[in-house]
Amino acid sequence: MPDAYRSGVVAVVGRPNAGKSTLVNRIVGRKVAIVSDKPQTTRKRLLGVLTRPDFQAAFMDTPGIHRPEHRMNAAMVRDALDALSGCNAVVLVADATERIGGGIRFVAEAVARADSPAVVALNKIDLIRKPRLLPILAEYAAMAPFRALVPLSALHGDGVERLVAEVAGLLPEAEPLYPKDDPSPGPLAEKIAEQIREPALAMTRDEIPHALAVVVEEIRESEEGGVTVVTASLVVEREGQKGILVGKGGAMIRAIGTAARHACEERFGGRYFLDLSVRAREGWREDDRFLAGIVNPDA
């Protein structure tokens, strides 16, 4: 007699830049979360669903847990910690190249307090020498009663299947929570906003990535049909930052739009036209009303 089907939600938590989004994308086998070399890229929870013949795991990618400097960051951290409530299992993603300090210990303690079985995914092992691996694993093993510690490389895929097997064994017997043909449940507008933000992050530096938000105002089909028209704003905090995003003669905003259009067409299928503008909203990272639309998952 075959084993009963298993299904559940898995909170993926950790420090900024630990590789949580890269890991979720690798597990699901397609891009469901944007990635960047900028810290705090993920601003709200999103799902990447892996469906197999014997289980379904909904991996909840979360913002990196850090010391917040703005209300936006505080909302992000609350969102990540809230993900530990009500999930069926937890994956703590840790950066093997990062010194083990108070930040990751805080995350481990929060995971330990959660009423869910947890495993450690020690990421980026391709960037360290093998003799360092066992002492690092021993330190994490001493932090909390983790069910498993899995060394892996989310970028290259080494060890990821072992992590998936460990997580699947922690899920309860249950029917699938999501349709098997939808690996990334959620509003289309939010997904498109992220696809616009990703190239904007890649093409800018200094304060722009942290001061940038993307708001999708309208999604409609063209009058002729066959093209999805998206109207969206790239929001920064100061008037002086607008010129950087627009670029000389509009070169930067056109490059962002072209990259985002290609990403939308590859991810969602069909043809897209992106009508992008840039506007300034002073202090939006401290504006609870504005933040409700881009950080609060229940808004």
Tell me the CATH number at 55.
3.40.50.300
With tokens 């072992």, the residue in question is 162
Q: Quote the tokens at residue 179.
A: 């349709």
* Judgement on whether residues 208 and 164 belong to the same structural domain of the protein: no
* Judgement on whether residues 11 and 158 belong to the same structural domain of the protein: yes
* Judgement on whether residues 47 and 91 belong to the same structural domain of the protein: yes
Pairing outcome for strands 148-151 and 213-221: unpaired
| CATH of residue 207 | 3.30.300.20
Q: Total domain count for the chain?
A: 2
CA distance 152 to 97: 12
* Judgement on whether residues 206 and 99 belong to the same structural domain of the protein: no
* Judgement on whether residues 141 and 208 belong to the same structural domain of the protein: no
- The DSSP letter of residue 58 is E
For 19, the domain range is 6-168
Helix 239-246 vs helix 251-268: angle between axes, to the nearest 10 degrees?
70
pLDDT at 1: 31
Exposure of 101 in the CB half-sphere (CA atoms within 13 A) = 6
Question: What element of type H or E holds 141?
Answer: helix 133-143
In a domain, 179, yes or no: no
pLDDT at 298: 40
* Judgement on whether residues 158 and 257 belong to the same structural domain of the protein: no
In a domain, 183, yes or no: no
In a domain, 225, yes or no: yes
Q: Quote the tokens at residue 28.
A: 């699901």
DSSP secondary structure letters along 11-33: EEEESTTSSHHHHHHHHHTS--S
C-alpha Rg value of the chain to the nearest Å: 20
Residues in CB range of 254: below 8 A, 6 or more apart: 247
Smallest CA-to-CA distance from 10 within 104, 160, 119, 106 is with 119
In a domain, 193, yes or no: yes
In a domain, 174, yes or no: no
Pairing outcome for strands 227-236 and 213-221: antiparallel
* Judgement on whether residues 27 and 103 belong to the same structural domain of the protein: yes
With tokens 């409530």, the residue in question is 85
* Judgement on whether residues 161 and 234 belong to the same structural domain of the protein: no
Q: Quote the tokens at residue 292.
A: 């409700």
In a domain, 176, yes or no: no
Smallest CA-to-CA distance from 80 within 294, 297, 299 is with 297
Cα dihedral across residues 183, 299, 17, 94: positive or negative: negative
Whether the CB-CB separation of 293 and 43 falls below 8 Å is answered with: no
* Judgement on whether residues 139 and 205 belong to the same structural domain of the protein: no
> Per-residue confidence of the chain (299 residues) as pLDDT tens digits?
357 999 999 999 999 999 999 999 999 999 999 999 888 889 989 999 999 999 999 999 999 999 888 999 999 999 999 999 989 999 999 999 999 999 999 999 999 999 899 999 999 999 999 999 999 999 999 999 999 999 999 999 999 999 999 999 999 999 999 998 889 998 999 999 999 999 999 999 888 988 999 999 999 999 888 999 999 999 999 999 999 999 999 999 999 999 999 999 999 999 999 999 999 999 999 998 888 876 643 43
In a domain, 11, yes or no: yes
In a domain, 281, yes or no: yes
* Judgement on whether residues 148 and 224 belong to the same structural domain of the protein: no
Domain final residue, candidates 139, 168, 197:
168
Domain final residue, candidates 168, 201, 226:
168
Give the torsion through C-alpha atoms of 67, 147, 44, 207, to 10 deg: 40
DSSP secondary structure letters along 166-224: HHHTTSPB---SS-TT-SS-S-HHHHHHHHHHHHHHHH--TTTTTT-EEEEEEEEE-TT
pTM higher than 0.95: no
* Judgement on whether residues 17 and 164 belong to the same structural domain of the protein: yes
* Judgement on whether residues 239 and 163 belong to the same structural domain of the protein: no
